[in-house]
Structure 1
Amino acid sequence: MDARWLILADDLTGAADCAIAFRRRGRSAAVTWGAAVPDPSIPVLSYDADSRARAAEAAAQRHAALLERLHDPERRLFKKIDSTLRGQPAAESAATLAHLRARSGRAFGVLAPAFPGTGRTTVDGRMRVGGRPLEEAEVWRRDHTYASAVLGAMLASAGIRSRSLTLPTVRGGRLADALAEVAAGPEAVAVCDAETDDDLRRIAEAGLAATPWAVFIGSAGLAHALAASGSTAALEPVRIAPDRRGSLLVVGSLAEVSRAGARRLLTDGAVVHLPVAPETLLAADGPSHLATPIAARLAAGQDVLVEILLAGEPDMRLGPRLAQALADALAPIAGQIGALAATGGETAAALLTRFDIHGIQLADEIEPGVSLGLTLGRLSIPIATKAGAFGDADSLTRIRDRLRRARTEGNLS
């Protein structure tokens, strides 16, 4: 029988892009957050801990509390971390290991954050993006927690002892033995190199074989490898009544690739562009002018792109306030949206929570890191979520096209 899983992520897009790996192989999977009570009958539960922006101690406490509430010993545990090490992956991993140790007296982690489908790899225990050190990437310059992208050093910052397993070990045919040896020793985590999906397949299979109590720590690349280790069934279609209302696409991420995607989307003239400046969002009366034109365009079947404009070097501290202000501005027209797309986990979480949505029934993956599902709660509409730095300049166009097909044809699968 295929294993049941609990995925604990630090943001919403990560929760979705890991769980969709299992859905693509025919298993029912759902994402939830907040005070929602997950359906225990669903084989793959993915929960957004909303801890990306928290300090290390607060993130660890959040994970400890959620694990006490959500973790069923009959479920294998996947701790999702960001493939560019944003947030507090070390503190959260330490809390996860402590939870397992307190529950069963033992804990061992298999760490493999690589996501080759999005250009993130691990070589000699260090994260790389596009073949170059992570420290040279835009995402690291804009937002990082640790002094370097060396995974062993990251874990050590939270008091976790680890051993690095390099590519020759990963590919050498005795990886399960190597993992079992680490699990039997003083190290709590095996740090695994991976450059390809095949490397991640080896890690997943060896990790499952080496120790039945291992917690897997990684990004969606490892989740896909773990999902592939089980059986594959035909996807049960996710269908809805066709809807002629337009799609709302919201770009709140600071990543340049999302901004490039917005510019590319505008070139075909098929969306209405409504940019909004941060100072407008944060003004006392907010962007009250937005709701009426958006509602009219959506009712006419037009797709609308709402973009938070940026100028110069963005102030990262404003991110949560901007996302919440935009969500408040759009809440009055939530019931008039035919489909929704959001780039950036913070933006997606703020919108969905404000719209009284408490979960997502996952349906399919549009491209690596971009999931498609059906919202659960006050609204039941197609939704696509994308981490801001994932994809390329055409990703937002592909998302728009897929949402248009989903809402007009009534088929999300």
Structure 2
Amino acid sequence: MLGVIADDVTGATDVAVSLRRNGLRTLLYFGTPPPETEPPAAEAVVVALRSRMIPAAAAVTDSLRALGWLRGHRVRQVYFKYCSTFDSTAEGNIGPVLAALATALDARTVVTTPSSPQHGRTQYRGHLFVGDELLADSPMRDHPLTPMRDSNLVRLLQAQVPEPVGLLGHDTVRAGGAALRRAIRQATAHYLLADATTEEDLRVLGRVLAEDPLVAGAAGLAGGLAAALGRGHPPEDEFDLGGPAAVLSGSCSARTLEQVGELLRLGRPAHRLDPIAQPDPETLAAQALDWFDTTTGHGPLIYSTMSPAELRHTQDALGVEGSARILERATGLIAVGLARRGIRRLITAGGETSGAVVAALGVRGGAIGPEAAPGVPWIRPVDPAHPLLLLKSGNFGAPDLLATASTPHRTDPPCPLAP
């Protein structure tokens, strides 16, 4: 069984669907399960942590705890999943976690790449591209928590680890087979960033790395591994995607701004969370649920998504951590209230937002189902009392994703659903 440790919730869903798409029956757990938890029959298990933005020492502790659980449940290979835009700072958390896992698994050389061509992320000559732009020229340059001002991945990772970092160039990867294995075996660097510009490059890497104890990267390389290990097509699963839907959006990414704008353009019922006007999260959530109880229509939107200028104003007023804490707490309470009111499909936008929703609902895990968009699967929680979840990373999906995912079925009643 393949075990995956993901550093955030939406990243975990992204990698889980990549594994399923390539033929592995996949389970997703939110947080490390208790030691006695025995996973149902599966070929891959993903543990979703919330370790991307916490202090590096805490991220290492959480990741090693997840590793301990996976090793106790027949996992023969571990994959550390981080973001395809390499979200991190000089302090981590990619490097410190990768180093701790490598030490625990006695991995001499670890191959990694954030390349995920399906999402427009490619690595060439050691540099990360987002679409046609270098990482440092993309919108990630001004990310509010991890501004990415350098595109050189070797340099970025080297700043986070004491061991040497090297490069597997594109020609070496394309050579594949014995030549690629030899290059990895002869490398003096402890970590090797592999160029990959196509899905075929990732499949070549997956075949060569299929026996390594530790591999790391974004969902793209995980899919390459799954292609080498799996049946080549998604397993047959039945998912009922009916039931009333609601959207909770907290991401401030450029793509989510487009997606929220599309819902507003369509005239969907919408309520904006304003943490400056109401900084108490309990009251902020109660106001949103009161609005929900009195509105009518399908697929309502409750959102704190805002423009870069609005985000700076909010963070200046409340602090970066303070504003995030208020909104995450409020969003979690809103999710619980919506589930109690009969929402059966809950769509969230943003990694931290999704993590807050999952934690508040008490969702332990679930089966990975069909994709609403590449890398954005529906999740059927283990507990049938919980709604189906669609946890969207900020930059994922077409502009109409939130609209199409929350489109009502013919039998879905409009809100309000319950008093």
TM range (shorter): 0.7 to 0.9
Residues 82, 89 of structure 1: 8 Å contact kept: no
The letter for the 1-side match of 2:236 is: E
Pair 1:276-2:270 in alignment: no
* Cα distance change on mapping 1:199 and 1:284 into 2, 3 Å: closer
Could you tell me how far 1:276 is from its partner in structure 2?
Answer: 1.4
Whole-Å Cα distance in 2 between the matches of residues 66 and 94 of structure 1? 15
Deviates more, 1:76-85 or 1:332-341: 332-341
* Cα distance change on mapping 1:49 and 1:84 into 2, 3 Å: same
What residue number does 1:356 align with? 362
* Cα distance change on mapping 1:381 and 1:352 into 2, 3 Å: same
* Cα distance change on mapping 1:284 and 1:274 into 2, 3 Å: closer
Whole-Å Cα distance in 1 between the matches of residues 77 and 216 of structure 2? 12
Could you tell me how far 1:342 is from its partner in structure 2?
Answer: 0.6
Pair 1:256-2:261 in alignment: no
Residues 139-175 of structure 1, C-alpha deviations (whole Å, 9 max, x = no match): 232232776232222332211323211212222x245
Residues 344, 387 of structure 2: 8 Å contact kept: yes
Residues 32, 49 of structure 2: 8 Å contact kept: no
What residue number does 2:200 align with? 198
Under a length normalisation based on structure 1, what TM-score does the superposition of the two structures give?
Answer: 0.86
Pair 1:93-2:98 in alignment: yes
What residue number does 1:155 align with? 157
* Cα distance change on mapping 1:241 and 1:187 into 2, 3 Å: closer
Could you tell me how far 1:381 is from its partner in structure 2?
Answer: 2.5
* Cα distance change on mapping 1:119 and 1:80 into 2, 3 Å: same
What residue number does 1:223 align with? 222
Residues 247, 339 of structure 1: 8 Å contact kept: yes
Whole-Å Cα distance in 2 between the matches of residues 273 and 195 of structure 1? 40
Pair 1:188-2:190 in alignment: yes
Could you tell me how far 1:17 is from its partner in structure 2?
Answer: 0.9
Whole-Å Cα distance in 1 between the matches of residues 156 and 281 of structure 2? 41
Aligned pair partner of 2:372 in 366, 373, 376: 366
* Cα distance change on mapping 1:406 and 1:136 into 2, 3 Å: farther
Whole-Å Cα distance in 1 between the matches of residues 231 and 281 of structure 2? 54
* Cα distance change on mapping 1:81 and 1:234 into 2, 3 Å: closer
What residue number does 1:306 align with? 302
Residues 344, 386 of structure 2: 8 Å contact kept: no
Could you tell me how far 1:330 is from its partner in structure 2?
Answer: 3.9
Residues 23, 29 of structure 1: 8 Å contact kept: yes
The letter for the 2-side match of 1:331 is: V
Could you tell me how far 1:251 is from its partner in structure 2?
Answer: 0.8
Residues 135, 149 of structure 1: 8 Å contact kept: yes
SS in 1 for 2:163: coil
SS in 1 for 2:105: helix
* Cα distance change on mapping 1:34 and 1:406 into 2, 3 Å: farther
Could you tell me how far 1:340 is from its partner in structure 2?
Answer: 0.5
What residue number does 1:267 align with? 265
Aligned pair partner of 1:20 in 17, 20, 23: 17
What residue number does 2:29 align with? 32
Residues 315-371 of structure 1, C-alpha deviations (whole Å, 9 max, x = no match): 343324311222124423322212011111111111121112111311112222211
Aligned length: 390
What residue number does 2:415 align with? none
Whole-Å Cα distance in 2 between the matches of residues 333 and 286 of structure 1? 15
Q: Unpaired segments of 5 or more residues in structure 1?
A: 409-413
The letter for the 2-side match of 1:227 is: A
Whole-Å Cα distance in 2 between the matches of residues 11 and 144 of structure 1? 14
Pair 1:125-2:126 in alignment: yes
Could you tell me how far 1:192 is from its partner in structure 2?
Answer: 0.6
Whole-Å Cα distance in 2 between the matches of residues 323 and 136 of structure 1? 29
* Cα distance change on mapping 1:284 and 1:258 into 2, 3 Å: closer
Residues 218-245 of structure 1, C-alpha deviations (whole Å, 9 max, x = no match): 11111222222222356323234953xx
Residues 356, 378 of structure 1: 8 Å contact kept: no
What residue number does 1:136 align with? 137
* Cα distance change on mapping 1:406 and 1:96 into 2, 3 Å: farther
Residues 135, 148 of structure 2: 8 Å contact kept: no
Residues 122, 196 of structure 2: 8 Å contact kept: yes
Residues 84, 114 of structure 2: 8 Å contact kept: yes
Whole-Å Cα distance in 1 between the matches of residues 139 and 297 of structure 2? 36
Residues 85, 144 of structure 1: 8 Å contact kept: no
Q: Unpaired segments of 5 or more residues in structure 2?
A: 413-419
Residues 102-140 of structure 1, C-alpha deviations (whole Å, 9 max, x = no match): xxxx43311121111111111111111122110122223
Whole-Å Cα distance in 1 between the matches of residues 401 and 121 of structure 2? 17
Whole-Å Cα distance in 2 between the matches of residues 405 and 170 of structure 1? 46
* Cα distance change on mapping 1:43 and 1:296 into 2, 3 Å: farther
SS in 1 for 2:5: strand
Whole-Å Cα distance in 2 between the matches of residues 91 and 108 of structure 1? 15
The letter for the 2-side match of 1:53 is: M
- What's the Cα RMSD here? 2.5
Could you tell me how far 1:206 is from its partner in structure 2?
Answer: 2.4
Could you tell me how far 1:407 is from its partner in structure 2?
Answer: 8.8
What residue number does 1:319 align with? 324
SS in 1 for 2:378: strand
What residue number does 1:84 align with? 85
Whole-Å Cα distance in 1 between the matches of residues 258 and 374 of structure 2? 18
What residue number does 1:411 align with? none
Between the aligned residues of both structures, percent identity stands at 23
